[in-house]
Amino acid sequence: MRNSKNEAFETIYRQHHPMVLQMCLGFVRGDKDTASDLSQEIFISVWNNLDKFRGASSYKTWIYRITVNTCLHYVKKDKKVRRLSSSEIENQTSIIDTEKTINDNIPKLYNAIGQLKRIDRLLIMMVLENQDYDSIAEVIGINPVNVRVKIHRIKKRLEKILKNNKDE
Amino acid sequence: MSSDFKELQSKWESTKKNSELSTTNFDDLYKKIKIKEKENVFFYYSTIIILLVTLIVISIFFYYVAPVKEMLSRIGAGLMILGLVFRIVIEIRSIHKAKQINILETTLKTADNAIKFHQFRKTIHQVIAPIIIGLYTIGFYMITPEFSLYMKFWNVVLIDISYVVIGLILFFIIRKGVKKEMQKLTDIVKLKNEITD
């Protein structure tokens, strides 16, 4: 039976999962398994904190905070090789299948973003997501003017990386 | 740069559209959430449970199995139990500090809280843990003379040697913990500097 929490969560998931997954991919230089793990961690946090959402900011800003903090504090798990049961395999497959629809056309973009500092990757991805400086400042906790200065520097750095990558 | 960035932005958008989900099996996701909740409880409370069980076993041992009679031994048993109680209190405090790292806060605030937590953990590993082990060790060797009255000499020697071995293992575990904590702390301080830079 679906309750209102499930409904709210599923709506948020459908609306924001592509953005979250893509930010994770950009953060981990296109490593799909890690990005999938990360996005899962993020939505588990969304579920666990859904009752705490007070509407002081938009859902999007709220999810950005969870995404940025989870990415920055994520510790990659050691993949332990163990035999999975058939039901586990089924569960894994259905989740991984959804992730496999990701377009592989622009790994170069993830690679370029991945060459930036960790916080810079997330900042530039929020800009790519059309977030304004005020909402980025709200997520990071610094002044919007500082955000503007940072973004300017990051864009220059990214331009240099992309130029170098093209020359290679 | 501006046109290049617009191009980048359109690539970004097109990739995202392609990654939109056709169907999501929420039942699987909820199962994973349940598993994660259990893992979190285990992660937070497993050490406390182990320490509590050890405390109960040691207390029962000294009360029912081998009630020591000499004052020196009683003080020793007290030090061992006190060390464990102190360790449990520290672990509870550590969980409280860990829970203060709230990912709903801003990145800067979260980094600050994470720094406080890892500094606390560093202090535990560098100062508190050696004190607790010291208390426990002193207590252990204070009991040994009375135990030697009831046990064969070689058994006492064996117990004493095995304690040194356990002590060495603990030393390396603590050293590893300190290194890990220092690395995390350095990483987060670096991150904070990058945010405020």
The 10s digit of each residue's pLDDT in B147-182 is 888 888 888 889 889 989 988 998 888 888 788 888
- For B40, the token pair is 């979190």
Using a CB-CB cut-off of 8 Å, the residues of chain A touching B19 are 18, 21-22, 101-103
Q: How far apart are CA A130 and CA A141, in angstroms?
A: 18
pLDDT at A28: 92
Selecting from B21, B26, B103 the residue whose C-beta is nearest the C-beta of A69 gives: B103
CB under 8 Å to A118, separation ≥6 — which residues? Answer: A27, A71, A72, B191, B194
Q: Judge: A72–B11 Cβ closer than 8 Å, yes or no.
A: no
Please state, rounded to an integer, the average pLDDT across all residues of chain A: 82
The verdict on residue B14 lying in a domain is no
The verdict on residue B16 lying in a domain is no
A81 Cα to chain B: minimum distance (Å): 18
Which of B107, B110, B81, B84 has its CA nearest to residue B98? B110
Selecting from A66, A101, A118 the residue whose C-beta is nearest the C-beta of B103 gives: A66
> Which amino acid, B102?
N
pLDDT tens-digit series, residues A140-162: 999 999 999 999 999 999 989 98
Using a CB-CB cut-off of 8 Å, the residues of chain B touching A109 are 8, 11-12, 15
Please state, rounded to an integer, the average pLDDT across all residues of chain B: 88
Selecting from B15, B106, B111 the residue whose C-beta is nearest the C-beta of A22 gives: B15
Exposed, middle or buried, B140 (CB in 10 Å: 0-12/13-18/19+)?
buried
Residues of the domain holding B97: 30-196
| B23: alpha, beta or left? (left if phi > 0; alpha if psi -120 to 50) | beta
pLDDT at A88: 43
Q: Judge: B194–A17 Cβ closer than 8 Å, yes or no.
A: no
Residue from B8, B23, B41 whose CB has the most chain A CBs within 10 Å, to mutate: B8
The verdict on residue B146 lying in a domain is yes
pLDDT at A92: 42
Q: How far apart are CA B104 and CA B112, in angstroms?
A: 13
- For A104, the token pair is 């592989």
Using a CB-CB cut-off of 8 Å, the residues of chain B touching A95 are 25, 28-29, 32
**Number of domains within chain A:** 1
The verdict on residue B148 lying in a domain is yes
Task: Give the H/E segment covering residue B39.
Answer: helix B26-60
**Number of domains within chain B:** 1
pLDDT tens-digit series, residues B16-62: 776 665 567 888 889 988 998 888 888 888 989 999 999 999 999 99
pLDDT at A102: 45
Report the percentage of chain A scoring pLDDT > 70: 80
Q: Judge: A6–B26 Cβ closer than 8 Å, yes or no.
A: yes
> Which amino acid, B150?
Y
For the entire predicted model, the pTM comes to: 0.80
Using a CB-CB cut-off of 8 Å, the residues of chain B touching A70 are 103
pLDDT at A108: 79
pLDDT tens-digit series, residues A89-139: 344 444 444 444 444 445 778 888 999 999 999 999 999 999 999 999 999
Using a CB-CB cut-off of 8 Å, the residues of chain A touching B103 are 45, 49, 65-66, 69-70, 73
pLDDT tens-digit series, residues B100-138: 899 999 999 999 999 999 999 888 888 888 898 899 899
pLDDT at B3: 66
- For A98, the token pair is 């959804």
pLDDT at B18: 67
Q: How far apart are CA B79 and CA B133, in angstroms?
A: 10
pLDDT at A2: 62
State the average pLDDT over residues A84-88.
43
The verdict on residue B144 lying in a domain is yes
The verdict on residue B10 lying in a domain is no
What pLDDT band is residue A77 in, cutting at 50, 70 and 90?
low
The verdict on residue B18 lying in a domain is no
Q: How far apart are CA A4 and CA A16, in angstroms?
A: 18
pLDDT at A93: 40
Exposed, middle or buried, B150 (CB in 10 Å: 0-12/13-18/19+)?
exposed
Cα distance from N-terminal residue to C-terminal residue, chain A: 56
Selecting from B22, B31, B191 the residue whose C-beta is nearest the C-beta of A119 gives: B191
Residues of the domain holding A102: 4-167
Residue B74 DSSP code: H
